Structure 1
Amino acid sequence: MDNFSNGRLLELVYDGRTYEFLEFIRIDRICENTYITLKNVITTEMFTFDEKKIRSIRMKIHPHSLSLSKKRESSCRK
């Protein structure tokens, strides 16, 4: 849940469908194929994607959760 609290998560478009709130788990290479496993931090659902079918992947910064983590950090420093 750390990645969700610091606001840095992945958004992926795979085979025409968008997946959000993902954190990286691992990469597997089997023969000539590469698979990426990601976890939805909200539902805890795990997804394994064939790298060849990924249309886009990007880091998403969620401003609301980022501002909450900064407030927590500043209150801890006092």
Structure 2
Amino acid sequence: MDNFANARLLELVYDGRTYEFLEFIRIDRICEITYITLKNVITTEIFTFDEEKIRSIRMKIYPHSKSNSKKRESSCRK
């Protein structure tokens, strides 16, 4: 998870389901409907959402804490 240190990713609620760890890919407008395409950075899945059906979208910051990883390393060395 080091690659996502202090990552600013999106969390989205769509049709009652929550999607996390998303990064923006693109916006398309087809026949008066706006679609937002996002990618889950962990699973690499690509999702396309109808903008009108998105209930909420927010940016989340996932901080990386080096102190926690050092704590885990030291506890394993006993």
Normalised TM-score (structure 2): 0.75
Larger helix fraction of residues: 1
Q: Which moved more, 1:3-12 or 1:13-22?
A: 3-12
Larger radius of gyration: 2
Unaligned runs of 5+ in 1: 69-78
What is the one-letter code of the residue matched to 1:60? K
Aligned residues: CA RMSD: 1.5
Q: CA deviation at 1:6?
A: 3.8
Cα deviation for residue 53 of structure 1 reads: 0.4
The whole-number CA distance in structure 1 between the counterparts of 2:51 and 2:32 is 11
Instruction: List structure 1 segments (4+ residues) > 2 angstroms apart after TM superposition.
Output: 3-6
> TM-score if structure 1 supplies the norm length?
0.75
Aligned partners of 2:5 and 2:62 also within 8 Å: no
Calculate percent identity across the aligned residue pairs. 88
The residue number in structure 2 matching 1:13 is 13
Per-residue CA deviation, residues 28-76 of structure 1 (Å, 9 max, x unaligned), is 000110000000000000000000100000000012x3x56xxxxxxxx
1:7 positional shift = 1.4
